[in-house]
């Protein structure tokens, strides 16, 4: 039976350390600051944004929220970003995705100063991750790497299979695993024999957003399973991309949903904001 990789416990430990570091910076006269920009009324985005606010407050990080209507013109959002780029109380700028259709996401992400890009989505920061010299690592994949680190399993020489190729999770995660000397396979909707890839994996990371599509008998005995998926089924129930109960039979270690990767994402956002503030004062 698999060991549970408890994201809540691991996130709480990290947040404790972050709070301590924030306190030390504040004593030196520097308060880390995060600006969160939300455009429109997407209910899931609103929940995430309010969780980010609460997490900042608990860690002692100053945060400001800019809530803009769904009809906000692109130029107005660009103006706000320019203002935040110049605001020396702000160390991190996060524009919650997805954005309304009339706004070009790439243009917005490129407008954020790379030195305040705590999401790690600016092409400069993506490039730095590709070359193996990252400035800010994207929060969800970074959180996954922290969970893997906690299992004590080295990725060196291991076969890691990532299911999902998004810019936010799959692609950056592949680069981070590569940096740890894993052999990485990225699978996606057009992968011809997904099962054959997954059954051979030492580490399976699911980030596709399809409820329980990774079946228990696809998991090799002793594999580590990380489930990034959060899928709502019915009114209340959340499930991951992996059939958790069945996968737990063969897996050596597995993350639950909820309580696995979820708590790590915001934790790494706090971490990146702290890092940015430290850089501001040359630490
Ligand atoms: N939407 C879903 N995940 C993320 C994330 O990590 N950052 C931002 N900005 N938007 C998101």
Phi-psi region of 11 (alpha: psi -120 to 50; beta: other; left: phi over 0): alpha
- Same structural domain for residues 85 and 144? no
- Same structural domain for residues 88 and 143? no
| CATH code where residue 150 lies | 3.40.50.720
- Same structural domain for residues 94 and 172? no
Q: In 152-253, which ranges are continuous DSSP H helix? A: 170-179, 194-199, 244-250
Residue 11 lies in a domain: no
Of 45, 78, 113, which residue constitutes the final position of a domain? 113
Choosing from 21, 119, 227, 243, the catalytic residue is 119
Q: What's this model's pTM, rounded to 2 decimal places?
A: 0.97
Q: Residue 238 is part of which domain span?
A: 139-262
From first to last of its 283 residues, the chain has per-residue pLDDT tens of 899 999 999 999 999 999 999 999 999 999 999 999 999 999 999 999 999 999 999 999 999 999 999 999 999 999 999 999 999 999 999 999 999 999 999 999 999 999 999 999 999 999 999 999 999 999 999 999 999 999 999 999 999 999 999 999 999 999 999 999 999 999 999 999 999 999 999 999 999 999 999 999 999 999 999 999 999 999 899 999 999 999 999 999 999 999 999 999 999 999 999 999 999 999 8
Report residues whose beta carbon is within 6 angstroms of any ligand 1 atom. Answer: 94-97, 119, 139-140, 168
Q: In 131-261, which ranges are continuous DSSP H helix? A: 139-151, 170-179, 194-199, 244-250
- Same structural domain for residues 90 and 178? no
- Say how many domains are in the chain: 2
HSE (CB half, 13 Å, CA atoms) of 279? Answer: 17
| CATH code where residue 51 lies | 3.40.50.10860
CA distances to 6, 175, 206 from 241, in Å: 17, 21, 6
Q: How far is the CA of 97 from the centre of ligand 1 (A)?
A: 5
User: Is 133 among the residues known to form the active site?
Assistant: no
């Amino acid at each position: 039976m698999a060991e549970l990789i408890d994201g809540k416990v691991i996130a709480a430990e990290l947040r404790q350390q972050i709070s301590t570091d924030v306190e030390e910076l504040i004593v030196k006269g520097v308060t880390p600051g995060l600006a969160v920009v939300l455009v429109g009324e997407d209910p899931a985005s609103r929940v995430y944004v309010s969780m980010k606010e609460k997490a900042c407050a608990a860690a002692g990080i100053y945060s400001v929220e800019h809530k803009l209507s769904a009809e906000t013109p692109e130029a107005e959002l660009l103006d706000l970003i320019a203002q935040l780029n110049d605001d020396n109380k702000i160390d991190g700028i996060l524009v919650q995705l997805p954005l309304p259709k009339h706004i070009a996401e790439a243009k917005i992400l490129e407008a954020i100063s790379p030195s305040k890009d705590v999401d790690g989505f600016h092409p400069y920061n993506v490039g730095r991750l590709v070359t193996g010299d990252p400035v800010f690592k994207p929060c969800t994949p970074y959180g996954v790497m922290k969970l893997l680190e906690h299992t004590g399993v080295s990725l060196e020489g291991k076969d890691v299979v990532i299911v999902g190729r998004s810019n936010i999770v799959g692609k950056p995660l592949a680069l981070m695993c590569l940096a740890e000397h894993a052999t990485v396979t990225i699978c996606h909707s057009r992968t011809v024999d997904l099962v054959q890839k997954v059954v051979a994996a030492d580490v399976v990371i699911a980030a596709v957003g399809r409820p329980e599509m990774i079946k228990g008998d696809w998991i090799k005995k002793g594999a580590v399973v990380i489930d990034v998926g959060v899928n709502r089924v019915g009114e209340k129930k959340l499930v991951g991309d992996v059939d958790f109960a069945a996968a737990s039979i063969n897996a050596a270690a597995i993350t639950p949903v909820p309580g696995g990767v979820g708590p790590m994402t915001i934790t790494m956002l706090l971490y990146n904001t702290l890092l940015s503030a430290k850089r501001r004062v040359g630490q």
